[in-house]
Amino acid sequence: MSDAENETRDRYPHFADLQTRWSDNDIYGHVNNVTYYSYFDTVVNCFLIEAAGLDIQEGPEIGYAVETKCKFNKPVAYPEPLDAGLRVGRIGNSSVRFEIGIFRKGDNDAAAAGHFIHVFVDRATGKPVTIPDKIRGALERILAPTSSASSGA
């Protein structure tokens, strides 16, 4: 379940700071819906790079997004800083489902929450590959204990 209304900080084992930018606000004065996916991409890949040694420049395996989704619960706006919570909802042979919550500082419930499904592929051929052990180990460290309940979002 990634309903933003029900996503609280305790549901995320990993957190990262997010800086907002001038360009994140759209004509209506709030962070645009598209920008949240840029936050997702940034947080997920930072985790893979730092915790799992993903080499986005030269590594043999790369992660392709195959499905993403986000629900928006309340607005945020530049210049406020944000927190991103990250957990893994499901690990398959070649794919992983990341679940992300975006929080205003001091808020316990998410301003927005969604998921991001990565398939690992061979950089040269684009064919799916088994998730390498080093990456799998890192993913398991932030695997949600109740991930079986997470499949509905």
Please report, as ranges, the residues that interact with a copy of itself according to CB under 8 A: 17-19, 21-23, 25-29, 32-34, 37-39, 41-42, 45-46, 49-50, 56-57, 62, 64-72, 75, 77-79, 123
User: Which residue, 31 or 145, is less far from a copy of itself as judged by CB?
Assistant: 31
Cβ distance 4 to 101 under 8 Å? yes
Query: What's the closest the beta carbon of residue 145 comes to a copy of itself, in angstroms?
Result: 25
Cβ distance 128 to 121 under 8 Å? yes
User: Which residue, 62 or 86, is less far from a copy of itself as judged by CB?
Assistant: 62
User: Which residue, 32 or 147, is less far from a copy of itself as judged by CB?
Assistant: 32
Cβ distance 90 to 151 under 8 Å? yes
Give the H/E segment covering residue 67. strand 61-72
Query: What's the closest the beta carbon of residue 117 comes to a copy of itself, in angstroms?
Result: 9
Return d(Cα 73, Cα 66) in angstroms, integer.
24
